[in-house]
Structure 1
């Protein structure tokens, strides 16, 4: 197979430029005041804390943590990473943060289980002179920087893709759709939901809608079973699922109900099983968020904060967002990418996220995507 190398995201270019800038020591020095870091140095090294929220979604352990660790090592060879995963438990994450602060971290990168509850973590850290980068989810409490994707745009991308699928199948204006949204404690989920509604409202009839605690695939399956009972399987023409894990639960419910022609289902995170469902026709699309530049940006922000430098942002610079408790935060928001069967190779494969061999396991070897890959 001839690998295509033309796909390079603007996010990746911007993050690489930011890394090069910091590595060269070209950021503007602000002379940290202790309350916001700035006392550490790359030459001597320092401790960086990384708190990730859960392991049900494959991305965190497989991509976010190793990408962040690699980027930090490139920027600060002598730095030490302290890492914990909260397994979707708010109290556990609080305890992990307290332990890291006790051990003496110099900067904290936090992906909150619960954005509001994480405000205590942020305030505790700031009270000890430890600056905080909000990673992927915007926590309360006055974080210093925030890096994520344009989460409202993620929902818009999903909504547009679902409408596109309905139009292709001639089902636009027919039947009803079901919305399986993300966790109500995740601020990103609210943005995904708002973005999707901005596109879907007035264009489709939403027959049932659920918020899904902990992004649980099992809960999503139960919710989809309830929707099938209340609407009727034959009248469901599409499903908005906020991520790939829940899309798996949605699909299981449809198959259990004896549905042969699976309606288009959305997803997010480009998990390997989500990509495999996309190429087999069991899921219409997923959203690919280039995690490497997100992790690299977070590492660059952390190093800047610890050493008293301004982080200037990547290719497009910094924007400003408002947290749920009204704090203004400087942020980098990366662009999400819709992935359907038509562009799997040009996105997740070309970008090195997965190989053809990863995707085309025995169960999927006879799909059009895999047979075409073998022929090219």
Structure 2
């Protein structure tokens, strides 16, 4: 997840400098800030775009920016606990979770009344506001099946306080999957795993392989993911991971750059959401892009056809 944010930021820098002509500077700090400042032709920055690693540690820095009249854009991850966030650009994170859960729903035939099936749930990092939207979106689809007994969480581990994965660490997810398999699935089959991110999915799949999934007579559970990372797309081609979510960071960069350019030109930028993203101090005006569910039926069209991934990268 961190890697995708770094890539997304580098794309944004290219759009701002190459297409709009803004001078850009990039700073990284151990506290979790990747910032892109657009200096004016005179002195000082007029806008600050922040792709935050930890969205909870920036209040003092943002107050200093506000004192200087600098407009602040949260990029991909919402910055919480500060009134000094002017705009937010991201994908529809609730819909990301919905699409992940719908992949499970489709693969298991839940709409057709099939079941019961065993499922385990994984969440993202608890310091990432997006994680809660992913989880809530997924559970809006899965919870009714759990309530009806069509999906069974043998561990009974539900809720972000129990299923979160700090720092989106794949090794942490793998260790938790090891424990779940040992404690609850020694004599039961696991049919699905809700994984919110490809980096976790790879670790989860490694754990599953370790106890025999993927061999004859023991197919992999339905494992979801997010970000269409190359290792996970390759895993899909091997019929290990079932699906991922494509979030075109090129489009996110374009939207953000356009909004920045509008603000600095004295115009009101276009937003399409003014209700969803409350950072615990204020609702931040946002622009949400649409995510796309990817499986073997459409990966060529969506990923290769769009130029996001080259076919030779999947060899």
Smaller-chain TM-score range?
A: 0.7 to 0.9
Judging changes above 3 Å, is the alpha-carbon distance between structure 1 residues 198 and 321 closer, same or farther for their aligned structure 2 residues? Answer: closer
- Specify the alignment match of 2:124 in structure 1: 182
Partner residue of 2:94? 152
* In structure 2, distance between residues paired with 1:278 and 1:147: 29
Q: Does the CA-based 8 Å contact 1:268-1:288 persist in structure 2?
A: yes
Give yes or no for contact 2:91–2:247 (8 Å, CA) kept in 1: yes
Structure 2 partner of 1:105: 45
> How far is 1:318 from its partner?
5.5
Q: What are the residue-to-residue correspondences of 1:195-344 with 2, within 5 Å? A: 195-203=137-145, 204-208=151-155, 209=157, 210-232=163-185, 234-259=188-213, 260=215, 261-313=219-271, 317=272, 319-344=274-299
Aligned length: 293
Matched residue SS, 2:207: helix
In structure 1, runs of 5+ residues without a counterpart are 1-55, 362-376
CA contact (8 A) 1:321 1:328 kept: yes
Does the residue aligned with 1:58 lie in a helix, a strand or coil?
helix
TM-score by length of 2: 0.85
Q: TM-score, length-normalised on structure 1? A: 0.72
Q: Structure 1 CA distance, aligned partners of 2:3 and 2:32?
A: 19
1:68 corresponds in structure 2 to 12
In 2: Cα distance, 1:181 partner to 1:277 partner? 20
Q: Pick from 117, 123, 127: which aligns with 2:57? A: 117
1:132 is matched with which residue: 72, 84, 94? Answer: 72
CA RMSD in angstroms, aligned pairs only: 2.5
- 1:113 offset after TM fit, Å? 2.1
- For residues 130 and 241 of structure 1, the distance between their equivalents in structure 2, rounded to whole angstroms, comes to 38
Give deviations 1:214-259, integer Å, cap 9, x for gaps: 0000000011111112211533111000100000010111111222
Given that residues 182 and 189 in structure 1 are in contact (C-alpha distance below 8 angstroms), is that contact kept between their aligned partners in structure 2?
yes
CA distance in 2, matches of 1:120, 1:341: 46
Unmatched runs of 5 consecutive residues or more in structure 2? 146-150, 158-162
Q: CA deviation at 1:69?
A: 2.0
Aligned position for 2:4 = 59
In structure 2, the residue matched to 1:82 is 25
Counterpart of 2:300? 345
Deviations 1:268-299 (A, max 9, x none): 00001111111110100000011111111111
Report the CA distance between 1:324 and its aligned residue.
2.6
Q: Is the 8 A contact 1:244 1:267 kept in 2?
A: yes
Change (3 A) 1:120 1:100: farther
Does the 8 A contact of 1:163 with 1:172 survive in 2?
no
1:18-66 per-residue CA deviation (whole Å, 9 max, x = no partner) reads xxxxxxxxxxxxxxxxxxxxxxxxxxxxxxxxxxxxxx643234x4133
Check whether the contact 1:238–1:263 (CA below 8 A) recurs between aligned residues.
Answer: yes
Q: Which has the higher contact order (CA 8 A, sep 6+)?
A: 1
Distance in 1, matches of 2:200 and 2:165, equals 9
- CA–CA separation in structure 2 for the residues paired with 1:240 and 1:92: 27
Partners in 1 of 2:5 and 2:107 — Cα distance?
29
CA distance in 1, matches of 2:250, 2:176: 33
